[in-house]
A = this chain, B = another copy of it.
Amino acid sequence: VTPAPPSTRRERVRQATTQEITAVARDLVAREGSAGLNLRAVARSLGMAPSALYRYFPSRDALLTTLIVEAYDAVGLAVEQAIERGGPQGCGAILGCVHAFRQWALDHPHEYGLIYGTPVPGYEAPDDVLTPAMRTPDAMLGLLRRGLESGLITLPLQEDDVPEPVRAVLTADHAHHHAGPPFPAHAKGAAMQFWALLLGLVSGEVFGHVPPGGRDFFDFSVRRGLLALGTDPRALAATPSPA
């Protein structure tokens, strides 16, 4: 996060103030959603003149971008840590990962909405957010790769089972690429389906579009999704859900 230690006193103060600003802004978004973010309220809360904020951010959108990047990084970090805690083999990491994702979303509903909800109208995301946005998907694809290599996951489909046009779409997609060799189309398709299920379950719960199923129902659904993904049933059944 800090590339080089800030030398001068001024730089240190500046960095601290910047962090204070984003912290206050994050609180504001957490309480009222992205529409509630406004510079005057941030300034008020910091005891500054509104114009002073322009020393730190060139516009409201720039501040919003920072918050979006921070939100992506926060989920990403939560997910990565859960994977580590889950251990190197078996389903512990997988279950830990998805539960961490859900838990972060429930703990930070407005920040979740910022990145996985309705796009903020009039806001155009700059390229800077692409990398942090891929942090969580990358972590999950890493799990998939590990699972395929270790034999924990055996995709129930062959490459041929994927209809030609779908295969074309799946292999043509180079926009969202991640580290490592490419996945075969059927693996990519399965991953995207699982991701859609996960987003649907979590968004439904966070936004209230679905009757509340709670943690148990989420766990149950995710396990069924993992089975559909080709996860070894015995291994999955033997792995308890994270606390």
Query: Which residues from chain A sit less than 8 Å from chain B, CB to CB?
Result: 32-33, 35-36, 113, 116-119, 121-122, 162-163, 165-166, 169-170, 173, 175-176, 189, 192-193, 195-201, 203-204, 207-214, 216-217, 219-221, 224-225, 228
Contacts and interface: CB of A to CB of B under 8 A. Distances in A.
Given A116-B209, A175-B211, A193-B225, 8 more contacts: A35-B35, A166-B219, A169-B214, A169-B217, A192-B213, A193-B201, A196-B204, A196-B221
B193 A221 contact: yes
Taken together, the copies of this chain in the complex come to 2
A217 B200 contact: no
A220 B162 CA distance: 8
B175 A217 contact: no
B207 A189 contact: no
Given A35-B35, A118-B117, A217 B204 contact: no
A21 to B, nearest CB: 22
